[in-house]
């Protein structure tokens, strides 16, 4: 979100300071985002991190799935024989449908839908 708002490179330190998060943790997240093709990192003078593709092309659901994996509400939705009532339970089907709707919706939302591209995020006062 930070990079989509800025539309220019930023350092990991700058982003970590803005969000008040660990620089080391953020560096790992940026490394993963880079491996997944969402950001590009450049070293040296004038380096930093930038989006690797336009915010309009980044689906939030895809990013969440790649980072979090399965978005199952309960294990029984994806795994058989994890619960004693599972064979006759109808809740499993309700939860499976809820998950399907959630994933479908998140995949319809783009990064550009949640950030005003080209406008810096506003940091709330603490």
| Residue 119 burial by Cβ neighbours in a 10 Å radius (0-12, 13-18, 19+) | exposed
pLDDT averaged over the chain? Answer: 87
pLDDT at 126: 55
Q: If you average pLDDT over residues 60-66, what whole number do you get?
A: 92
User: What's the pLDDT at 124?
Assistant: 62
Rounded mean pLDDT, 37-42: 94
Q: Please state the pTM of the whole predicted model.
A: 0.78
Domain boundaries, the chain: 1-53, 58-117
Whether the Cβ atoms of residue 4 and residue 54 lie closer than 8 Å to each other: no
pLDDT of residue 85: 80
Q: How confident is the model at residue 63 (pLDDT cuts 50, 70, 90)?
A: very high
Question: For domain 1-53, is the CATH number 3.40.630.10?
Answer: no
């Amino acid at each position: 979100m930070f990079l989509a708002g800025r539309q220019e490179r930023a350092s990991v330190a700058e982003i970590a300071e803005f969000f008040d998060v660990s620089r080391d943790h953020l560096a790992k997240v940026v490394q993963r985002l880079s491996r997944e093709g969402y950001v590009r990192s450049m070293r040296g003078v004038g380096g930093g991190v930038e989006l690797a593709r336009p915010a309009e092309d980044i689906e939030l659901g895809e990013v969440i799935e790649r980072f979090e994996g399965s978005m199952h509400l309960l294990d029984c939705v994806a795994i058989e024989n994890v619960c004693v009532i599972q064979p006759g339970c109808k809740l499993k089907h309700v939860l499976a449908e809820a998950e399907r709707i959630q994933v479908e919706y998140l995949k319809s939302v783009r990064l550009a839908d949640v950030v005003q591209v080209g406008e810096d995020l506003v940091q709330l006062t603490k």
